[in-house]
């Protein structure tokens, strides 16, 4: 049985979120990018297709934006997220992108 990486609770097979703490289940990766490369990197990650959540944080670790998986499905839904990323890029010098990928 799989255990939650956040709280250690037992997870049911195929769970996407922990039933105990709500943490997403999946493989976590982090990328640090310059603010001017932020939008391009997000677009690249979304096109990879196995993303369940993207979290953008500033250089101080403050969460600036969270993009759920369904936002990447339809391009018109994604447009406001990318506009918000453009505004974030203007405020931060470096950003950390945390990507949660679906376990296969």
What domains can be seen in the chain, in order of their start residue? 25-101 (3.30.1490)
Residue 63 has pLDDT above 60, yes or no: yes
Q: Which residue has the higher pLDDT, 69 or 54?
A: 54
pLDDT at 1: 60
Weakest mean pLDDT among 24-33, 74-83, 95-104 = 74-83
Written as one string, the DSSP assignment of 25-59 is PSEEEEEEEEGGGHHHHHHHHHHHS-EEEEEEE-T
Which band of pLDDT confidence, cut at 50, 70 and 90, is reported for residue 34? confident
Average pLDDT estimate for 40-51: 80
- Helix, strand and coil content of the chain, in percent to the nearest 5, comes to 35, 35, 35
| pTM of the model as a whole | 0.66
């Amino acid at each position: 049985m799989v255990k939650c990486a956040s709280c250690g609770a037992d997870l049911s097979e195929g769970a996407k979120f922990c039933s105990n703490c709500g943490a997403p289940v999946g493989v976590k990766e982090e990328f640090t990018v310059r603010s001017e490369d932020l939008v391009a990197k997000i677009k690249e990650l979304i096109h990879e297709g196995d993303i369940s959540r993207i979290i953008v944080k500033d250089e101080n670790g403050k969460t600036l934006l969270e993009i759920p998986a369904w936002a990447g499905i339809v391009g018109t839904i994604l447009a406001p997220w990318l506009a918000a990323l453009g505004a974030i890029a203007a405020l931060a010098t470096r950003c950390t992108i945390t990507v949660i990928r679906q376990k296969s």
